[in-house]
Amino acid sequence: MNELTIAAMLRRAVQCSPDREIVSRNADGSLHRTTWAGIDARSRRLASALLGLGLSPGARVATLCVSHHRHLELYFAAPLAGLVLHPLNHRLHDDDIAYIATHAGDEVLVVDEAFLPLVERIRDRTPLRHVVVVAENPDPADGYEGFLAGGDPAWQPGDLDEHAVALVAFTSGTTGRPKGVEVTHRAIALHALSTSLPGYLGMRDTDVVLPVVPMFHALAWGWPYTAALLGATLVLPGNRLDPAGLLELIDGERVTLTGGVPTVWLGVLRTLDADPGAFDVSSLRMVLSGGSTAPPAMIDGFARRHGVPLVHTWGMTELLMGAVAELSADLLDADAEEQHRYRLTQGRPMPLTEIQARTDAGGLAPWDGHTPGELEIRGPWVAGSYLDAPEASAERWTGDGWFRTGDIVTIAPGGYLEITDRAKDVVKSGGEWISTPALESALMAHPAVAEAAVIGVADDRWGERPLAVVAAHCGSVVTAAELREFLGGRVARFWIPERVEFVASVPKTAVGKFDKVALRRDHVVGDGAGTHGAGT
């Protein structure tokens, strides 16, 4: 029997930290409180209820839920039952959600009542056989609660293979259709062990952990499992990720460790700055910021004005947390300026993973802090391929196990990686991807549009926003407002560009592709003024 399993991680929580709390915000704003012992009991019962549906081993159980305690139960129940949990991201466009659910082969869906209209729109296009609804005011005899009550309270997991798939997560971070990765029990266990070490998260049972990164996105960086392994208290924010909503939880629950995307922390910083006395954030020992570059002024602002250490982290759906910018021993005596410079990097890779940067010439960049190359990474929890996508997999994995991240980095002595550019043609807005080719196709579907190219421009609030450069057909006239209206319903709301610029023709490279370098040079001047989009 293998022991690097999610069942073993939950057993550890219930045996050694049964009374540590799981605090979860309900849809009405009230707080629900349970313990690891409570999560264990309900997860096992839920696992037996899921098996009662007659699913085959490895069947996919999807969720469309915000971060709450019932979602946490599913994080354990499905893998404990030998099934595979697949959190779906409700922020995506219907077509993408339908595609992802179909590609993953989702048979069961547990859905928050708030997302039911979405499910009704896509259900016919998916293989879903069972839909279980988490009501806002749950009735014990009905919906999710009734389903769970039908399970056997004495059910215990059988032997699990640590190499079995426990989870599926999708990323739309590259061109083409969204791609899925399968995550094994073993990957989750080793990820939790490594990321929780001192010098990285340094998580322990005294921590009160608030994952702001949603449970439907990049598996909340694996934190629900890491918290179980260490017996930490877990605080789940429900449907409120706004600054005041988060600060209330941080203050009220004395949160010590939290993590999310820079857009969230920028909002929190603004709220703290506006009224420094309104919330007590002195319990925070570490705020992780990842998913996009953390602006230096934000890291400074948290440290200087509020005494909060904001730590930069780098990750990807394909590997969850990849690096953390905690200072290594040799930097502890360095002057403040040098320490600051290293804190701005994306950090050092987790123990047991290895990184390298491949230059344009095909060699490996020296770790000198200034030679750029595409970051490659390998390690026990780095995915080995995309789900049923051999061509995309062959592009991203080298024969000898290195995963090509698409991030252009320099690596400094000590392994500090710094992202300088991106090889992938995408825009990341508020922590969520916008596929530029897909947005270009949507724009070019408009009868008046001959050519449309999309580039990312820096944005104060969202990190990046898309800018569309459009050439109309000869004799046709179209306005930015008409194009925005046309895109509504065709792409996710946050994809719709605020800025549309019209040109006679879009510049091309020698091979006839849109010349994004020229477009950036010609159109990016004057951005960063803080155009705020629909966002995420």
433 is catalytic: yes
Closest CA to 315 of 225, 399, 405: 405
Which 8-state DSSP code applies to residue 136?
A: S
Residue 399: is it exposed, middle or buried by C-beta count within 10 angstroms (0-12/13-18/19+)? exposed
- Distance from C-alpha of 458 to C-alpha of 527, rounded to nearest angstrom: 6
Closest CA to 418 of 375, 381, 456: 375
**Residues 122, 160, 249, 316: which binds ligand ADP (CB under 6 A)?**
316
**Residues 144, 155, 314, 495: which binds ligand ADP (CB under 6 A)?**
314
Q: Does 312 bind ligand ADP (CB under 6 A)?
A: yes
The least distance separating ligand ADP from the CB of residue 46, rounded to whole angstroms, comes to 26
* Per annotation, catalytic residue among 381, 397, 433, 495: 433
Sign for the CA dihedral angle at 276, 280, 282, 283 comes to negative
Q: Does 171 bind ligand ADP (CB under 6 A)?
A: yes
**Residues 157, 222, 315, 349: which binds ligand ADP (CB under 6 A)?**
315
The least distance separating ligand ADP from the CB of residue 302, rounded to whole angstroms, comes to 15
* Interface region with ligand ADP, contact rule CB under 6 A, candidates 58-66, 288-296, 333-341, 454-462: 288-296
User: How many residues sit close enough to ligand ADP to count as binding (CB under 6 A)?
Assistant: 23
CB 459 within 8 A of CB 530: yes
Q: Does 292 bind ligand ADP (CB under 6 A)?
A: yes
CB 210 within 8 A of CB 22: no
**Residues 291, 301, 466, 533: which binds ligand ADP (CB under 6 A)?**
291
Nearer to ligand ADP, 320 or 478 (CB): 320
For the residues of 429-459, what is the DSSP string, one character each? ETTEEEEHHHHHHHHHTSTTEEEEEEEEEEE
What mask, x for binding ligand ADP by CB under 6 A, covers residues 205 to 234? ------------xx----------------
- Distance from C-alpha of 479 to C-alpha of 504, rounded to nearest angstrom: 14
* Interface region with ligand ADP, contact rule CB under 6 A, candidates 196-204, 306-314, 452-460, 489-497: 306-314
Task: Tell which positions 37-96 bind ligand ADP, by CB under 6 A.
Answer: none
**Residues 173, 214, 224, 243: which binds ligand ADP (CB under 6 A)?**
173
Q: Does 416 bind ligand ADP (CB under 6 A)?
A: no
* Interface region with ligand ADP, contact rule CB under 6 A, candidates 49-57, 130-138, 410-418, 425-433: 425-433
428 is catalytic: yes
* Per annotation, catalytic residue among 179, 424, 428, 516: 428
Nearer to ligand ADP, 22 or 299 (CB): 299
Nearer to ligand ADP, 180 or 290 (CB): 290
H or E stretch at 418: strand 416-422
* Per annotation, catalytic residue among 5, 126, 171, 174: 171
Q: Does 480 bind ligand ADP (CB under 6 A)?
A: no
Tokens 């998260």, residue located: 201
* Per annotation, catalytic residue among 248, 318, 326, 418: 318
Q: Does 170 bind ligand ADP (CB under 6 A)?
A: no
Tokens 């879009």, residue located: 506
Nearer to ligand ADP, 385 or 405 (CB): 405
Q: Does 405 bind ligand ADP (CB under 6 A)?
A: yes
Closest CA to 367 of 352, 349, 379: 349
Characterise 500 by phi-psi region: left (phi > 0), alpha (psi -120 to 50), beta (else): beta
**Residues 197, 344, 419, 444: which binds ligand ADP (CB under 6 A)?**
419
The pair of structure tokens assigned to 202 is: 């340094």
- Distance from C-alpha of 420 to C-alpha of 393, rounded to nearest angstrom: 24
Q: Does 524 bind ligand ADP (CB under 6 A)?
A: no
Nearer to ligand ADP, 42 or 179 (CB): 179
Tokens 């306005």, residue located: 479
Q: Does 376 bind ligand ADP (CB under 6 A)?
A: no
The least distance separating ligand ADP from the CB of residue 420, rounded to whole angstroms, comes to 10
The pair of structure tokens assigned to 94 is: 């219907």
Q: Does 293 bind ligand ADP (CB under 6 A)?
A: yes
- Distance from C-alpha of 109 to C-alpha of 130, rounded to nearest angstrom: 6
The least distance separating ligand ADP from the CB of residue 406, rounded to whole angstroms, comes to 6
The residue ranges of DSSP E strands in 199-341, in sequence order, are: 208-211, 233-236, 257-260, 286-289, 310-316, 320-324
Sign for the CA dihedral angle at 245, 248, 251, 253 comes to negative
Q: Does 346 bind ligand ADP (CB under 6 A)?
A: yes
Q: How far is CA 39 from the centre of its chain?
A: 23
Nearer to ligand ADP, 26 or 175 (CB): 175
- Distance from C-alpha of 353 to C-alpha of 258, rounded to nearest angstrom: 23
The pair of structure tokens assigned to 343 is: 């804190």
Q: Does 422 bind ligand ADP (CB under 6 A)?
A: yes
Q: Does 290 bind ligand ADP (CB under 6 A)?
A: yes
Query: CA dihedral in degrees (328, 312, 353, 183; nearest 10)?
Result: 150
CB 357 within 8 A of CB 410: yes
* Interface region with ligand ADP, contact rule CB under 6 A, candidates 23-31, 87-95, 192-200, 400-408: 400-408
Catalytic site residues? 171, 318, 428, 433
Residues that bind ligand ADP (CB under 6 A): 171, 173, 217-218, 290-293, 312-317, 346, 405-407, 419, 422, 428, 431, 433
